[in-house]
Structure 1
Amino acid sequence: MLKPWPLALAVALASGLPLAVVHAEPTVQQQLLTFDLPSASLGATLNAIARQSSQVVSLDPQLVSGKQAPAIHGTMTAQEAMRQALSGSGLRLVVTGSGSFTVVAAHDSADALELGSTTVTGTQLGATTEGSGSYAARAVSLGKSEQKLKDIPQSVTVLTRQQMDDQNLTDLRDAANQITGVVGVKGVGQGMVLSSRGFQIDAWQYDGVPIPRNMYALGNWATEGLVFFDRLEVLRGASGLLQGTGAPGGAVNLVRKRGQQAPTVSLTGKAGSWDHYGLQLDAGRPLNAQGTLRGRVVVDEDRTHSFTDYAWSDTTSLYGALDFDLSPDTTIGVGISNTDNEARPMVRGFPRYPDGGDIGLPRSVYTGATWNRSQIEQTTLYADLEHRFDDNWKFKVSALRMTEQNRSKHQRMHGNVAPDGSGLMFADWITDFDATKLGTDMFVSGNFDALSLEHEVVLGANYSKYTSDDMYARLFTPNAGNIFDIDHHRPEPTLGSILAAGGAAAYMDYDVRQKGIYGSWRVKLTDDLTAVLGSRVSWYNYIYNGTSKTTNTATGEVTPYFGLVYALTEQWSVYASYTDVFEPQSERTVNGSVLEPIIGTNYEIGLKGELYDGRLNTSFAVFRYDHENRAVTDYDSGFACDGWYCSQASGKVRSQGFEAEASGEIIDGLQLSAGYTFNTTKFLEDPDNKGKVFSQWTPKHMLRVWGNYQLPGELSRLSVGAGFNSQSHTLGYYRDYSIPGFTVWNTRLAYQLSSEVGIALNINNLFDKRYYIPTYSDPGGNNMYGDPRNFMLSVKYTPNL
């Protein structure tokens, strides 16, 4: 059921009705226009935009002499078109009080847009990808101060809003599987595990604030949609400096949509395979005459059945945000989001034969019961305040509170399958997980000159807290199921019936807290060489109350970081970086003690390019990790740790390989995202696994390619997209069998009917490849098929306001 609070805001934002404030009528430069301008001289492009929008632009011809503008394609305001034209030029756009445009010189450190007496800094505009029409990000905010990708001595990928829309990516796991070197794994549960370079990423950032997102009493239940977010930033490599202990695989940062400076409304309807329907309203506008108060609302409804019999899912997503300029130098932002998902899921998929052989079931087979149900509700509150002391210094504080309720009642089938399909057990489960995550982050950053050198410093602190109240109950019925003749109509269990039949219930809670202080220092040693030094000091406290109590603490742990960036030219740079890893573990040994922390070292060297005035980002990286003391399952212990296996230290693990990536406009009209990863993970020293692959679901080879081409000239209303995901084989959870690799092709055809209406048809798995997705796969279960060929038709209406 839709909730009323965002609907009132949505109606007001979409219709222009006042919300206890007075807003200005849209001026000419705020109207949406469709531009189709080829790459040309900057002066010619600015004049073309001015002519089409009936605006006046004033400039000194010497400022634009010899400068080139990128191609401008798409529907946007004149302001947005001019900002795109000026990107990378060292110039900025000023809008006078009368509404005319002026182009003036700007500092290289920020692009500013002045609206009368209001200044909007690069903090809000520099890294934003909405409306850019590009797969290339101008900057990222992962490191607190906004930086270009080529200035960061680690591998970073940004999935822009344009690419998410083109590929119809609405789920974080699907998005992760489009990113170089990252694997989105289907967990044991309805959620996911994100993995990079062979290691899990369990703390996710929201607007730069990290919180734990994969800590549950049982399995993996973390889910996340993308409708609230402008972009997804992913750093590969150890990220302890950014978010504290752990995170050897990297960091993901979900950057939310913000209030907008020009009135915009989009209404998108979708219809696709398996009765999949969706409707989304996304609206934003200034809410007062000065443009200092800006609002945004997103209302999204998604309902679908599945290629799997009986399965379905209904999701309602609501989001509202306000940004308010308290002064020209101070901005406060608040937001609230809610996602409510109800579903009949299939949990834990299919079993395999005991030797790991594929049973060969049709993809439509459902192993659950008709009474399978789940409800996942997530509510998140966001708040931040940024103060800009001057052009060089700023302070920002952000806070996040997320509550999550995760309840399910479901049937699983697993065990050793006989040739006739018998031998399986039914498992009836009831889960009830409630968790609250809190996170805060504050920092000050600035630039200064000292000792004839240019310096940039960041000094900050953050804190996170995770508390939960969890329960699950389960009942196993051995030798009761046949995989070729599944009973979907068994009696629906209750907690009482599970206990009465000899099942078990477990109650537990977590209290996990982490805090730390961090700092980084960038110093330009020469015109071309920059050194980056950083460190974090962390405190960690872990309490788990189950059938027994487990505690773990770490005090004053130091995580150092060092990097060098050398500018070969204005477009190309080489880099090298080193960082330590410190990762507390909660797993226990059979004697009840907590495992020692993971320690390790990470090295990376690479080459980065920012080409065509920032329209194309490229990178190549070679990396090696050496880690010790990682937990592995101690199967000899039986279910001695709260009804499950205990753990033991894994000895020494190494992950190494190389990556190559390109994203952005490679020729006029063609946006491309392409990345190849070669990655091996291995146990170097381990009593049971020496010489074996460490990360079962990390393929040795991964190639992700997607491109979208907008045809030129008279055919410019038409765009065509295509791409594929290809990877080599992975392993089952026990490393005793291989899961074949796969190549899956997707395509898209879109047509702009008018300046206000566009249609698009996405076809996924074009050649209907039958394959298994990365999961915690084992012979007993959790083998999940990838989606068969499917279609999605979308119609987007963006009125000219």
Structure 2
Amino acid sequence: MLLHCPLPLRALAAAALACALGAQAQTLTPDASGAAAPRSYDLPAQPLGSVLARIGAGSGQQISIDAELVRGRTAPAVRGSYTPEQAARAALQGSGLELVRTGSGSWGLRVAAPAPAPAGTGAAARPAAPAPAQALAPVQVTAQAIVSPTTEQTGSYTTRALSIGKMEQSIRETPQSVTVVTRQQMDDQNLSTVEDVIAQTTGTSKSQRNYGAHVYMMRGYEIPDANYLIDGVAGGAYSPTGWVPMDTAIFDRVEVLRGAGALAVGAGDPSGVVNMVRKRPRADRHFDVAQSIGSWSHLRTEIDGGGTLNEAGTVRGRVVAAYTDRHSFIDLVHTRAPMLYGVIEADLGAGTKATAGYRHQQSDIDGYTIFGLPSYANGASLGLPRSTSLGQRWNRSDAQVDDVFGELEHRMGGDWVARLTLNRSKTTVDQTLGSARGAIDPDTLQGLRYTGNDFIARDIDATGLDASVTGSFQALGGTHKVMFGASWTQQDVLTRSASSGQSAPMDPWHFDHSRYPEPVAPAYDNGSQDRRQMLGLYGSGRLQLAERLHLHLGGRLNWYKFLSDDHYSGALLNEYRQNGQFTPYAGLVYDIDTRWSAYASYTSTFVPQSQYATVQGGRLKPAVGSNYEAGIKGELFERRLNVAVSVFNIKKRDVAVLDLGNEGLCPGLTTNDCYRNASVLRSKGLDIEMGGEIARGWQIAGGYTWLTTRDDEGSSLSTDTPRSLLRVSTSYALPGEWSAWTLGANLSAQSRAYVDTVQNPGHAVLDLRASYRINRNWSATLNIGNVTDKIYWAALGSARNGAYYGMPRHAMLTLRGSF
């Protein structure tokens, strides 16, 4: 049985240890041989998830159960004397699932591999297992087509299915480049924020901009907030890699699609789409805890528990809590970030499930600054220590997010599924900033100036609604999958600000963090109320043209509206819209054999430009980004490893440019200048990626990207994006008598990048880790980041706005318990 321990955040570590030790004391005593002793079972036929949960709870052995994988499956009666493992395997007879041991020592489930050829056909017979008190008859199991995209408890660096397009399909079946960062990879690398995850994703680079609301670039274009989805629904994320960091403790996986997101978002640059998939309740009772301590007083605690809430197993719940308290290698910076997430789901009837959840998260940062370290005007480094801060002691940035979601799912006949999802979030950001910036004259050593005190408040209300239907049908000798639906999002952003103080010169080498006392905030005197609305009707199909050939067709019809008013005067500041803009999607996938496929695809997105007028008095049509891609994908080693090689070519055409011959002749809301659709932006490149198990116990995830971009004049679209990028993470569980040890490494390497005159030379950063499984409940991991203590820029800005150093060598020790 599991102990139920209420856990206040301030006592997480001590309480978790007490609960874990208490739970461990209740585990089943092994017999003299070291194996769990048999016990008597008398379990009637019942839902598979319920009987597995009862076997695990009664024995103390953790069996990790994906609720979706066991949904609709019934276990036969289990009666007799068995070890827990034998009882679990008896319950799985005829289910199409098999029991597997995960890297943490617990048990998990997966779809069974096809049964071996029967005796007499030349196949070698397997040796018989020791018979229990009541012998089990051999059962032949046939693999089923349905697989779960859930990565938790699989120990894998890949997944067998994607959910980013709502129509679940494998990576090999998807005619676009996709990276999946799994739960195992996040745990191994201590990727505790979405920014950490994106930084480890193939083809991404960080860009210093938007006064601290830093963004990531992909394929030469920015990934905007609107391209961050939660469970496939837009509108729930605001500045997730900048002002409002999002904790990953609540996510099972992060799916990143590179290129234009024609179906998922429609509007935006053809960069990529990030889908963050929440953890859902499991059918087994579980309690997991992790306590970390690292460099610069970095403390983090995670607790994750839940399971079935009734005897029938039809109601399940889960609670995840995390608390981070860390100082930074940068002076003054201190972050406190509590997070609480709860979710409950219930089977309402045959094929119908309802889910509801809530998340509260804070990120309170003392010593926060919105500019990096300046350079000399010629771009040369000032040689400042990596710990240098240019903020005042009273600088701070406080963010808070409260979001709720609800989902209703109904499984109809066959594999048809209808789903309705609602997300609602409230975000606040409050900042008090004393800032300094400016390029330094190499002769006078002057140029850095204190720019005054800024007080900024943002209130963001966001709603996302999505309804979809997916399923398949047989026709013309083939199996065809279809998906269609509608989505609506609205985001209201109220921004208020005030400034005080005067400009004054500062010395970057002897910066005074207490030069100015904390000011009294004046009344806000500047502000705007912005509203963005997006309505989309979408649909797609995966049509089987021949046994090995599938055609993907679809598209999204988009309505976009933006409105901005002055918060104090009510004056209209900006307004534009785009009605009925269609973003098509098409792809062709040919199965070379059962493991390899070749594909080609076309997708598009658009950026509204109706805020600009032409000299003829009309409004500019949208800029359209078109993504052309072709490649080869493979599923190797019984689908435990995904590999892909792709080439891509992106054109963003009809981009607005200033009509120099008619300056000042088009009076409007934001400018009196005239514009025209003229510019074409281009990017092209190569992606090579691998994820999964390359040998028994050896996981790898990584990729290489080569990219080149240019505008009409031949200049790069984003010079802070390196031409070559390599991201690799690997983990190897040692065999034999060393099997308690797992070793791992991460390598990030890139070529030269620059912004104006500021250079970031090519460099490589190596991380190492070692994990030791103490027993079946506990493990300890030591992560050492930047082991060579490489000095490099993690994000570039101009000489005036500054750049950010990458983290020096650091270490973190994590103790994990699973019960």
TM-score (norm 2): 0.82
Q: Which residue of the partner structure matches residue 178 of structure 1?
A: 200
Q: Deviations over 1:168-212 (max 9, x none)?
A: 101111211111112244543443313221112212100010127
Structure 1 partner of 2:365: 343
Superposed counterparts of 1:40-55, under 5 Å? 53-55=85-87
For residue 86 of structure 1, what is the aligned residue in structure 2?
A: 112
- Given the alignment of the two structures, is residue 110 of structure 1 paired with residue 146 of structure 2, yes or no? yes
Residues 1:277 and 2:299 aligned together? yes
Q: Give the 3 Å change call, closer, same or farther, for CA 506–596 of structure 1 in structure 2.
A: farther
Q: Does 1:27 align with 2:54?
A: yes
In the TM superposition, what is the alpha-carbon distance from 1:32 to its structure 2 partner?
A: 6.2
The question of whether the paired residues in 2 share the 8 Å contact of 1:319 and 1:337 is answered with yes
1:754 matched to 2:775: yes
Cross-structure match for 2:317: 295
Q: Which residue number in structure 2 is paired with residue 433 of structure 1?
A: 458
Residues 103 and 172 of structure 1: is their aligned pair in 2 closer, same or farther, counting only changes over 3 Å?
farther
Hey, what does 1:716 align to over in structure 2? 739
**Cα distance, 1:505 vs structure 2:** 4.2
Task: Provide the residue aligned with 1:235 in structure 2.
Answer: 257
Q: Which residue of 1 aligns with 2:790?
A: 769
Aligned counterparts of 2:632 and 2:60: Cα–Cα separation in 1: 39
CA distance in 1, matches of 2:659, 2:341: 44
SS at match of 2:263: helix
Asked if 1 retains the 8 angstrom alpha-carbon contact of 2:578 and 2:610, the reply is no
Instruction: Answer yes or no: is the 8 Å Cα contact 2:575–2:611 preserved in 1.
Output: no
Rate the CA distance shift 1:220–1:276 in 2: closer, same or farther, 3 A.
closer
Are 2:808 and 1:797 aligned? no
The correspondence of residues 447-466 of structure 1 with structure 2, limited to 5 A, is 447-466=472-491
CA deviation vs aligned residue, 1:440-489 (integer Å, no higher than 9, x gap): 11111111112333211111000100101111223473342121222211
The unaligned stretches of length 5 or more in structure 2 are 1-6, 24-49, 64-81, 118-133
Please state whether the residue corresponding to 2:546 is helix, strand or coil.
coil
Q: After superposition, what is the alpha-carbon deviation per residue over 1:639-659, rounded to whole angstroms, capped at 9, x for unaligned?
A: x99999999778111010010
- The answer for the alignment partner of 1:506 in structure 2 is 526
Q: Counterparts of 1:772 and 1:646 in 2: how far apart (Å)?
A: 38
Residue 154 of structure 1 corresponds to 176
Q: Which amino acid aligns with 2:277?
A: V
SS where residue 162 of structure 1 aligns? helix
1:750 Cα deviation after fit:
0.7
Q: Match of 2:85, as an amino acid?
A: S
The 8 Å contact of residues 93 and 141 in structure 2, kept in 1 or not, is answered as no
For residues 13-412 of structure 1, what are the structure 2 equivalents within 5 Å? 27-29=54-56, 33=61, 53-55=85-87, 57=89, 72-75=101-104, 78=107, 80=108, 83-84=109-110, 86=112, 108-111=144-147, 126-202=148-224, 203=226, 204-211=228-235, 213=237, 221-344=243-366, 345-412=368-435
* 1:619 corresponds to: 644
Equivalent-residue separation in structure 2 for 1:652 and 1:320 (angstroms): 47
Cα distance in 1, alignment partners of residues 389 and 116 from structure 2: 58
Report whether the alignment pairs 1:657 with 2:681.
no
Cα–Cα, structure 1 residues 611 and 89, in superposed 2: closer, same or farther, change >3 Å?
farther
Q: Say whether the 8 Å CA contact 1:6–1:299 is kept in structure 2.
A: no
Alignment match of 1:414 (pick from 428, 437, 444) = 437
Give the 3 Å change call, closer, same or farther, for CA 106–394 of structure 1 in structure 2. farther
Structure 1 equivalent of residue 630 of structure 2: 605
What code does the residue aligned with 2:151 have?
Answer: T
Secondary structure in 2 matching 1:74: coil
Q: Is the 8 A contact 1:654 1:681 kept in 2?
A: yes
How far is 1:260 from its partner? 1.1
Counterpart-to-counterpart distance in 2, 1:232 and 1:259 = 18
1:406: Cα distance to partner? 0.4
> 1:583 Cα deviation (Å)?
1.7
> What is the alpha-carbon distance in structure 2 between the residues aligned to residue 309 and residue 60 of structure 1?
56
Separation in structure 2 between the aligned mates of residue 417 and residue 529 of structure 1, nearest angstrom: 61
SS in 2 for 1:484: helix
**Equivalence for 1:565:** 589
SS at match of 1:173: helix
- Return the letter of the residue paired with 1:272: G
Aligned residue type for 2:646: A
Alignment deviations for residues 208-266 of structure 1 (CA, whole Å, 9 cap, x no partner): 101274579xx953422211101000100110211222241111000001111101111
Specify the SS of the correspondent of 1:779. coil
Provide closer, same or farther for how the CA distance between residues 571 and 362 of structure 1 changes in structure 2, counting only shifts above 3 A: same
What displacement does 1:357 show?
A: 1.6
SS in 1 for 2:341: strand
Structure 1 unmatched ranges of 5 or more: 17-22, 36-49, 92-97, 112-125
CA deviation digits over 1:339-361, x for unaligned, max 9? 11111113211111112221111
Query: Is the alpha carbon distance of 1:101 and 1:53 closer, same or farther for their aligned partners in structure 2, counting shifts above 3 Å?
Result: farther
Decide whether aligned partners of structure 1 residues 710 and 765 sit closer, same or farther in structure 2, where only a CA change above 3 A counts: same
Root mean square deviation, CA, Å:
3.7
1:671-721 deviation line (CA, Å, top 9, x unaligned): 1112000011111x2xxxx11110233210001111111100111110111
TM-aligned CA distance change 1:174 to 1:55, over 3 Å: same
C-alpha spacing 1:551/1:220, structure 2 compared with 1 (3 Å)? farther
1:578 corresponds to: 602
| Alignment partner, residue 550 of structure 1 | 574
SS at 2:708 equivalent: strand
How has the CA–CA distance of structure 1 residues 643 and 316 changed in structure 2, closer, same or farther, with 3 Å as cutoff? farther
Distance in 2 separating the partners of 1:463 and 1:102: 52
Equivalent residue letter for 1:613: E
Distance 2:11 2:426 in 1: 19
TM-score by length of 1: 0.84
Is contact 2:404-2:424 (8 Å) kept? yes
Map residues 459-538 of structure 1 onto 2, 5 A cutoff.
Answer: 459-475=484-500, 477-489=502-514, 490-496=516-522, 505-538=525-558
Q: Give the Cα–Cα distance (whole angstroms) in 1 for the partners of residues 532 and 137 of structure 2.
A: 53
Q: In 2, are the aligned partners of 1:552 and 1:594 still within 8 Å (CA)?
A: no
Q: 1:762 to 1:402 in 2, by over 3 A?
A: same
Change (3 A) 1:642 1:306: farther
CA distance in 2, matches of 1:177, 1:320: 27
Letter in 1 for 2:625: G
CA deviations over 1:710-735 (Å, ceiling 9, x no partner): 10011111011112100112221xx4
Q: Conserved in 1, the CA contact under 8 Å of 2:795 and 2:805?
A: no
Matched residues in 2 for 1:774 and 1:493: separation?
Answer: 30
Q: Matches of 1:634 and 1:352 in 2, distance apart? A: 35
Residue 701 of structure 1 aligns with an amino acid whose one-letter code is S
* SS of equivalent to 2:329: coil
- The SS at the match of 1:27 is helix
Deviation at 1:416, TM superposition (A): 2.9
Verify the 8 A CA contact 2:329 2:807 in the aligned structure 1.
yes
Aligned partner of 2:752 in structure 1 is 729
Question: Among residues 804, 810, 813, which one is paired with 1:784 in the alignment?
Answer: 804
Residue type at the aligned position of 1:405? T
Question: CA contact under 8 A between 1:307 and 1:788: conserved in structure 2?
Answer: yes
Whichever of the two has the greater Rg, that structure is 2
Residues 72, 84 of structure 1: 8 Å contact kept? no
Instruction: Decide which moves more: 446-455 or 153-162.
Output: 446-455
How many aligned positions are there? 731
Contact 2:405/2:423 (8 A) holds in 1 = yes
Amino acid at match of 1:378: V
